[in-house]
Structure 1
Amino acid sequence: MAPPIDVSRFEQLKASGDLPSPKGVALAIMRLTQQDDASMADLARVIRSDPAFVGRLIKAANGIIGYGRRPIASVQDALTILGLPAVRNMALGFSLLSHYRSGACEGFDYTRYWSFSLLAAVATQTVTLRTRVAAPDETYCLGLLGRVGELALATLYPHDYTKILGDARHEPQRLAELEAKVFAMTNAELGAAMLADWGLPRLFTDAAYCMAAGIECPQPEGSRDATLTQTLMLARQLGDLCLASEPERPALLRRVRLAGSRLSFDDETLATLSDGVVAEWVEWGSLLNVHAEKLPPFEHLAREAESSSPVPTEPAGEPPVTEVNEGAVEDAHHERFLRVLVVESDAAVRSNLKQTLLEGGYDVAEAGDGYMAAEMALDFHPDMMLLGWKLLDIQGGELLRTLRKTRIGRSIYVVVMGEDASEETAIAAFDAGADDLLAKPVNPRLLLAKIRAGRRLAALHYEIERDREEIRHFAAELAVSNRRLQEVALMDPLTACPNRRFFTDRLAQEWAVAVRSSRALSCLMLDVDNFKAINDTYGHDVGDSVLRQVAAAIRSALRGHDLVARTGGDEFVVLCPDTAIEAAMTCAERVRRAVEDAQISSGLLHLKVSISAGVASRDQSVVDADSLLKRADQGLYRAKQDGRNRVAAVQLKPHAAGVA
């Protein structure tokens, strides 16, 4: 749903190395979690090398286990509670916070940005604990990175973005219009592209785009997409409220109430939630060294809001969608002025050349030395360059060789201006990479003639680049289509679980890893008890609904690295890497309880459903992956025989007899 930005443009931004990205241990964590054979033990070893991240990870795990539970104190326990996706995203978020606390964009308030982002992270997690629309530990990272597009533009274009922020005057709609005009993309579009590139699911990237752009989710009210978007909107309103001055708070509080009402939060619930968010924000701020301050209780702010004059209740930061006329943009590319960069140490000569080019209808930038010229070449993206052969800080030939090593520099048509047009000067200039040569003093008519000749070559470069962009665009669309086809081929459409084909391939991979590394590997075979009776009594529609809800209950009870698949009918199978028989039995019992406790409903019908589970683990008597599945199936048969709604295992070794 988030509109894609130009593929080649995004790849160019990534290749520049200036786009905010994870570093150090965070980068190692992200790379490790992308490997199929990565284990919790490997991940724990990497995490322990960063004591600061260890503390943040353990705090995050303790924040979601609930009160009255034994506190998490080890990295291994934290990993088990959070799961690999959440740990990966937390590493990403905390890395960006550590390395991008400040920057060169003078108009961008880095302190306020990170203070807001941290509060949004805490608020999103807290709200998600109530709405259950996604994993709370993963939505924490979504809140933290929801406005990362703003940070990216401030990092990529510090000078231009300072001017844009000044012109926008804190008006979100005006800011988006200026971003689209100057950068051909908005911070919301760039942020969504970055989150998708980092591996966050579509649900998250779409919600982040809506929040950053200040627009409504197009999905129906009450859908998962809409609920997550409204959760981020409430987090944004809370962030604006907590960072506002006292006179601004009453008006902003009304907007918080409106955002909360869309999630069915009454004033009492919203007050409790908001006070908890502020307390948690202050605690996290102390841990991360981010500005966070205590605020008056929500009820106190509410009384102030009620005593103040009414204000419009339209949510802040939700401007109408700005429609971009793609045809007009395309025409602007065709009719744009040719960009010419004049590089000359002599200010008088530089001024005369600039005036001549402006009168000729060209877009002109100037630089007085080699350092500024290199910077301008990357920012201004000139089509042509008039380069003085002798500069104050560097020889023109040396600057030209440096530029030709960059992708942007290779496409610039360079005319060297020498004190003379001697043979030696010409040879040196052409050897350095010049396209043409002019002798000083420059004849204006000859200059414009050479510019016109070079313009044809620049136009050719532009056409080639357009063709390349189209090819990249088609390739990207094809890759997306192929990925979707692969997902369709490997996913069960009813339960959204992987299917038998996917599971078979994954089992072969995990078995090979387990054998090669002498690791444990367990398998759970699950079957819904008396499912045929449900189908026969209530019909297949109810049966399908039961299967979907049972699958959701199973997923909720598994760890991040476990894999559940539907193998057919009412049968599911779970693969548990790095898991011995005792831990697998515990996991199976947890899954059984989750299904038994689930509120299964279809329309006005409420059912109690249970499952039976068979457990098997790799040992000397299990010679291959098929044997592991057969052993788990034997355990399932025993569980059925013993009365259903139970867990059983069949182990042939004397010390591992069947357990029911």
Structure 2
Amino acid sequence: MPAALPDASILQILTSAQRPLPSPSAVALELMRALDRRDLGMRDIAKIARKDPALVARMIQLANSAIFAGMRPAVAIEEAVLRIGTDGLARLAIAMSLMQATKSATVEGFDLRRYWMTSIQRGLVFQHLSQRVGKMPSAEAFSLGLLADVGLLAMVVSLGVEAVTSDAAGSLHSLGEQQRARHGFDQGDASAVLLSHWGFPVALAQAVRFRPLPAETGSNREAQLAECVALSRSLQLHPDGMEPDAGRMRRLAEHLALTEADLQGVLASAAQDMASMATVFEMKLEQKEVDAEFDRLRRALAAPPLLLDPVADQVLVVSQDDGLRASLRQALQSAGHAVVDAATPAAATDILQVQGPRVVVLDWADGTEMAGLCRSLRQAHGPRIYLLALSRGMDQHSVLSALDAGANDVLSAPVLPQMLIAKIQTGARATRVLAASEAERSHSQRTQRTLEQRNAELLQAAGTDELTGLGNRRALDAFLPMTFAQALSEGQSLSCLMFDLDEFKVINDRLGHDVGDQALRAVGLVLRQQSRGMDFVARVGGEEFMMLCPQTGVDAALRIAERIRVAIAAPQPDLPPLSVSVGVAVGAAGFPDAASLIRAADQALLQAKRLGRNRVCLAPTSSAAAG
């Protein structure tokens, strides 16, 4: 095996091949360099992006996708930067330009469409995983998952498709071992080297390397980030001949304090977003194609854990005859069984209590004590233990006495090694199947007991804005129609309050995105503190928030809006002066549907902006004004 190559040598191999390596566009690389300049604001980032009109169009489309959509469509690159974030936008520009560079390329024996489909799916999986474990913002997580296996593409181009082809069906990690044996590096190393070369932070670049599964949970953020990347790879779409490794999925999930229900939720969310996200990357996917791809992963994950059961292959030999014990040990060990032995039933009982072997060979020549041991083992363990009796004489009485005491089978001693091994392996297989069946039943019961609780948690996670902890647009879409219909049928008032943080783009430009994020959290905190238990509060865009207040008329809604406006305008430590413009609409009567109520509040918000900001405006309560 060649020695592991240093990163500089790997980069030279990847970039000096006869066939040029697909590279990010000049604009994408300029955006990455701009991240290191703290003097550049959102408008500067937008100005760089405008050098590539196609990139601008795709970023605006991405800003309007399910992951980032606000109440109003984004129509300018500044709005896209605001929703996606500067770091996320720059790193996604790398991926988008790479995909564009390979769009018309062909590599014999390599399915580029499948590669990019898997990359998009892995990006979505990593993004939804990050929401649950709190490691990265959405856009940055999606971009890292999307590019986590860019080294595979680089190795195909520079070394040929055989560099990423496994010698036999196996896992992604077995392929990595073969690559290291052939080339001195694997596709994970290649990915890390390229991401570092393109300007990704060291911690993110190193996280995509293949690593052995640690025995314990990672003790720092970098280790946990690497485990999150590894889990997203385990949950990615696999080519034919490479089955998902459900055991590895579960072990990584345990390290990240995630359950099987969490992983199923991640897959469900990714499947829901897959087709629309593929459209952003100019790839057409039918939903039935997406569902078929995800079904294999869901089935692998839903199957009960494979029983890793060395105990089933351990054999206990009980006999007073030292020579018999030695000969049986030799025969069984040659067949791969672990063997323990005991000279007396009492010693055998102690071994069974401590080590728990489920295959036992009993020397029936030892008389009534052995029959008593056989009977007690059968009573204690039932069918979970395999008992094989060795009888010196195969007369009918001996055989019947052994079977009557609970033995599964009887062999004549001295016994042929082949016959002994065949019987032992049959018994071991039977106990393993029974144990697996019981494990499956227990697994199903545990899953059933926790399903309702986990479903509630998953729904909450999917409907929560990760920055403020408020509801998000998805949660609003689920809550609003039901609440509007209930208010309409019961003749109750339903007030909609729309908030927009004034001059938020100026805050981002002058003070940076960290301060901008703090400002959004501060607004979210005020809204949460000022809301009642029955109210619904959500962040529905970059700097836009909404509060739905059931059973709340015009006067009460205006008082709530004014109270929140004043609270946000109060000076706050480490923040510039903040203010919000508020639009209020009161229904449900007078509005044909929930969307009309929202539009009315939005129009009132725009009126508050036009009148000078930092004020509350009320929408007319009529369907004509709301339309």
Name the TM-score, length of structure 2 as normaliser: 0.45
Largest Rg, 1 or 2: 2
Greater relative CO (CA pairs within 8 A, separation 6+): 2
Name the TM-score, length of structure 1 as normaliser: 0.43
